[in-house]
Amino acid sequence: MAGSRFSFVLLGFLATGNVAECQAHFPRFDVISIKPTPKDAQNLIRLDKCQDGGPYVSLGAPLLWSIEYAYRLNDTNVVGLPKWVESFSDAYDIQAKSDTRVTDEQCRQMLQGLLEDRFHLQIHRESRERNVYFLSVVKKGIKMVEVKAGALLDNATSTGGVRINGAVQKAPSEAAPAPGWSMKRLADYLAERPEVGRPIIDHTGLSGVYGFALDFSNDAVDRPSIFVALQDQLGLKLEPAKTATEVVIVDHIDRPGPN
């Protein structure tokens, strides 16, 4: 009976083109604690995205931040959220850990499972025409160094890797800084910058991994904007465009029950 009911529901979704995503096949955290953020701690934000393969911790941060991390989203490509999901005063403290070390991708998948299990999050994806940027190479070519396969970055002695405004870049789950970034990783980073504010589509045609240093500021008069810095320092540019891109629609989400 249960199997027939599942088949009926799934066929109903397929018929309408509104397929809610299910992460039942994804790995789960072994220990989870979710509690409303105490009022006296609402300004004490902590966000550890499985730092060094450890637990996922979100204290005092809006649930939106966890959703965006789990699904690789930003404010421009997720719609349908209730106000409490975006609120600092309505935040939840989330602490979730695995018995084993996790990668960044595993952390995101486990967080998707947590959101589905505890917040009953249901989403689907649509293609909509939106304002975007194309990331492309300028006529004179790139000014980045391609990293050879198998290269490692010794943070203590190397001047390589990826440095942004002087800081060596390292994803929370990485044991050591990466020696270079793919253009997809750079595009994802740029799309999350508030001064960019649009999805970015990689049109560089570059399939390798590149080391670079990027220095910019939209506040200081003695430093270029991120748009100018990309061209002058990396040989890349962001071109405004309009095209169909994927948007995540939130169909359903609940406040979590008690632990």
3-state secondary structure at position 5: helix
Q: Are residues 166 and 234 in the same domain?
A: yes
Cα-Cα-Cα-Cα torsion 181, 182, 186, 191, nearest 10 degrees, comes to -140
Higher pLDDT, 80 or 158: 80
In this prediction, residue 5 has a pLDDT band, given cuts at 50, 70 and 90, of: very low
pLDDT tens by residue, 50-69: 988 899 999 999 999 999 99
pLDDT for 14 beyond 70: no
Higher pLDDT, 100 or 26: 100
Q: Are residues 57 and 170 in the same domain?
A: no
In a domain, 253, yes or no: no
Q: Stretch 149-158: mean pLDDT, rounded? A: 55
pLDDT for 2 beyond 50: no
- Residue 211 lies in domain: 129-245
Among the listed residues 251, 178, 230, the one whose alpha carbon sits nearest the alpha carbon of residue 209: 178
Q: Are residues 188 and 233 in the same domain?
A: yes
In this prediction, residue 249 has a pLDDT band, given cuts at 50, 70 and 90, of: very high
